[in-house]
Structure 1
Amino acid sequence: ESMNDPVSKTRLIEMYDSLKMEKWTEIKDLLKSSKTSPEFTRTLVQKTFKDAAEEMRRIKQQIEETFGFTESSSGQENQKVEGFRKLAVHNLQLALYHSNKDLLKDVMVNLRRLTSECHWLGCLIALNHPPLQPDWESQDYEKNSW
């Protein structure tokens, strides 16, 4: 894992932890003042991550179909093809990382920043090999809730 890779597994986990702990705290007061319920927000965040993962699963499937790669493929040429397929997915992940998060999703005004960040990060972690999974059960999330 390259330390210079902005979408390495370690970096993605750091971004996810930052979203959970720091950015959530920043937006929490805004959500309280708009009387948005914690349950609604939690459900929305989880749905945003799930939708992003599903969207990336479809895109990865299209890439695999384009390369004509199957799990039963073997041989040196197929290893090269698999390497290029992984590189294509990684390049997609890098392009997404450098894209403007606000252009990805336009949701409710008060939750736009949060859902935009969740969708962006959800796409990035879904493209990781192997895909990472958000941790909805950790004590950190509960500790940082309303």
Structure 2
Amino acid sequence: MLKEFREFAMKGNVVDLAVGVIIGAAFGAIVSSMVADVIMPIIGAITGGLDFSNYFTALSKSVTATNLADAKKQGAVLAWGNFLTLTLNFLIVAFVLFIVVRLMNQLKREAPAAPAEPPKPTKEQELLTEIRDLLKARA
């Protein structure tokens, strides 16, 4: 059973999938940082210094906190600012993946296979062709 598992784990598709998952996780972290550290501060500056990740709507009257973490401890809240941030994160990831797939498809289309030149006949083949043509002419 261990041998079968080793063969399964070493198949190309499993290794490719593992590499893809690891790269995807790293890419996700980069995009999350880009959204949290670059894009959302710019949006916050445009909207007057607002931080969307802390926006929420209290669903119970007992919530009196002004930040999301404390409000969640006090009761039910609708964290729509966090949802907005995660939605923006998803849209950026989807757009970047779209661009990558589009570029990959263009590279595949731009590289058509060059038609192969037929090989030159050997001296023996040329001689046999001459003999064949002479026999056809006599017939």
- After TM superposition, the score normalised by the length of structure 2 is 0.32
| RCO comparison, higher one (Cα < 8 Å, 6+) | 1
When the two structures are superposed, what TM-score results if normalisation uses the length of structure 1? Answer: 0.31
